[in-house]
Amino acid sequence: MSSGPNLIHEFFQRIGRVFLVVGDEFLTKALLYYACSLFVRYNRDQEIIFILDLEGLTRKNDLADAIVSKLKLDGKVTTDEVKDILQNCNCLIIVKGVECLKTDQEEFEKSNDTNNEDKMTTDDLLKNSHCLSKCGKLRWLVLAKTGGCWKNVISSHFIRSQIDKLIPQNWSKYVSDVFKYYNTVSESIPKTPQGDPEENFKNEAEYFTKYVFNENNIVEKIGLSQSMLILFSHVVVSDITKRKIDLSELCLYRRSYLIETILYCFEIQYSNISDHPATFEELKMILGRAGLPQDEKCNPFTEASTLASEFSVRKIQDEIQSINLKEALLIGFLKSSNEHDVTSEECAVSLCDNVIQEHLVALVITSENLLENFLNSFCWSENERMRQVLQLMYGTKPNTRSLIAKILLKEKKWDILIDCLFESENERDFEMITAKDGTVHEVKVSELNRYSHRLAFCRFCKILASNKVRLRELSFKGYWSREWFINWKIPQVEKVEFIQVDFSNQTEYNYAVKFCNERNVKRRNVSFTECHLPGSQKPFSEITSK
């Protein structure tokens, strides 16, 4: 029989359904919790999850023994019952601590560890887990630290992802690897009548990685949080494979959708380990309340207000006596300023990510009658974080939408309103901005340099056009690209204005004119204000749509 690294290779080659993720310690911990949470959510009726920590296992343990001992079920589930589950049910085993295994007996003999006699080797893992050959529905997610014996045993039989540094290129590779894994194990690969399923899935992966992940700057958008990126990747890919849908049908850019998904996973994980699962909801509201800005006049919303970044452990525990902050820290919902004593009353904690904090503040504002005060102070401000709070409110609380839209229309804050409308899946919300004569008056956009805002504006125009709504006036400030605009479904427009747009390139200028001509905008109703025009541009009347 083989030994050392070949044993590991042989062991998992026999299984044939392994997703190996190699990274630093924090990464593997994040993957453990989020993979568990996601599989609970998406497979709760058909898949059972076991977390197998190989650290401390002895050669006396077979796979079922190891799972029972790690679950600490106090006799509620027997080893035979676990074996039956492994053989007959859809199961996922999340393996961690694989670097603790010695590759063979020779390594034991070279080692000075006096406790080696009982420690499990890779030989033991292979020999004592012979029941695995009968487990046709078993899948594996193996988490390993960078380096070690694993670097020598990876072959084409594995779907492998290694992340050494938190940079966009590495995360793009990870996303692509996630697609490959789901392609391997999923029976619901997206298909088209004429296309090859595997080729279709490959195209989906490339599209997602390039256009969704890279061009939308997901790493920056979610705050460089490893946990969030892992979650985002798995949520999207799982949606595609489980629901048999196309990428275009996913709400990939809706912040409220993303954050609600993340919080749901936090809540599931918290309830699995906490004696007081109901306190998670209380904790969210307390942290949202604590995050509200306060100035000297006790008005939480002023132009210069900022959200609180840290919260006192003492204050939190005064409000929720039953809360166990260690549990909230363990699942990654909170971060601590003191790694050695996370529950000290002198310690401060913060939320795992800014966008989570913005969401919790939004929940508090809508539940405690602060909405009107907030809107009167912030709906047109330059405070970016408060603007995100507004957008999240619109996406998660439908009863706020009418008031938000009314004030944004009054203040003519179209960029903010268009982003808010993008958070809603209800097209009837667009009726709130349409006049009785079926028109929308002056629409001015100035933030189309942002990818997500272009998507929001594209959807905005598409819905208006499909409902035959006319625009009285449409103005673009600071940005123009024929790649984005020339094929957009823009509603009928009476007047178009370009403001501070660089049209020094003759081709871009010609396309801008063509854009207006194709929408039957009269020449006298097209204007270029403070634009950089090409030196040799022809008079407007000589530019045709040919």
Residue 495: per-residue pLDDT: 92
Residues 271-286 have pLDDT tens digits of: 767 777 667 888 888 8
Residues 219-276 have pLDDT tens digits of: 555 444 555 566 566 656 655 555 554 555 555 557 777 677 677 767 766 776 777 7
Confidence of residue 323 (pLDDT cuts 50, 70, 90): low
What gap in Å lies between CA 216 and CA 195, rounded to an integer? Answer: 28
Residue 520: per-residue pLDDT: 84
**Structure tokens, 280:** 């998670």
Residue 170 identity: N
Residue 97: per-residue pLDDT: 67
Token look-up 């799972």 returns 67
Residue 26: per-residue pLDDT: 46
Half-sphere exposure of 129 (CA within 13 A, CB side): 24
- Asked if the model's pLDDT at residue 15 lies above 80, the reply is no
Residues 101-149 have pLDDT tens digits of: 655 544 545 555 555 556 655 555 544 444 445 565 666 666 666 655 5
Q: Which one, of 36, 451, 18, lies nearest residue 227 by Cα?
A: 36
Enumerate residues 6+ apart whose C-beta is below 8 A from 127.
Answer: none
Sheet with 474-477, strands from edge to edge, namely 443-445, 474-477, 496-499, 526-529
Confidence of residue 298 (pLDDT cuts 50, 70, 90): very low
- Please give the CATH topology (third level) of the domain spanning 5-164: Rossmann fold (3.40.50)
Output the CA–CA distances (angstroms, integers) from residue 44 to 29, 309, 442, in the order listed.
22, 35, 49
Q: Which one, of 491, 475, 482, 492, lies nearest residue 527 by Cα?
A: 475
- Asked if the model's pLDDT at residue 5 lies above 50, the reply is no
Average pLDDT in the chain? 67
Rg, C-alpha atoms of the chain: 28
**What is the domain partition of the chain in residue ranges?**
5-164, 183-252, 274-428, 434-546
Residue 76: per-residue pLDDT: 54
Task: Report the length, in residues, of the chain.
Answer: 546
Residues 160-193 have pLDDT tens digits of: 666 666 565 666 666 667 666 666 655 433 343 3
- Sort 45 into a burial class: Cβ within 10 Å, 0-12 / 13-18 / 19+: exposed
Half-sphere exposure of 376 (CA within 13 A, CB side): 6
Confidence of residue 525 (pLDDT cuts 50, 70, 90): very high
**Per-residue pLDDT averaged across 524-546, rounded?**
67
**Per-residue pLDDT averaged across 499-521, rounded?**
86
Confidence of residue 499 (pLDDT cuts 50, 70, 90): very high
Long-range contacts of 252-257 (CB under 8 A, 24+ apart): 252/212, 252/216, 253/216, 253/422, 253/452, 253/455, 253/456, 254/395, 254/422, 254/423, 255/355, 255/388, 255/391, 255/392, 255/395, 255/423, 256/359, 256/391, 256/392, 256/394, 256/395, 256/396, 256/423, 257/395
- Asked if the model's pLDDT at residue 46 lies above 80, the reply is no
Residue 341: per-residue pLDDT: 55
Residue 83: per-residue pLDDT: 74
Helix (H) / strand (E) element for 18: namely strand 18-23
Q: Which one, of 415, 419, 432, 521, lies nearest residue 476 by Cα?
A: 415
Residue 228: per-residue pLDDT: 57
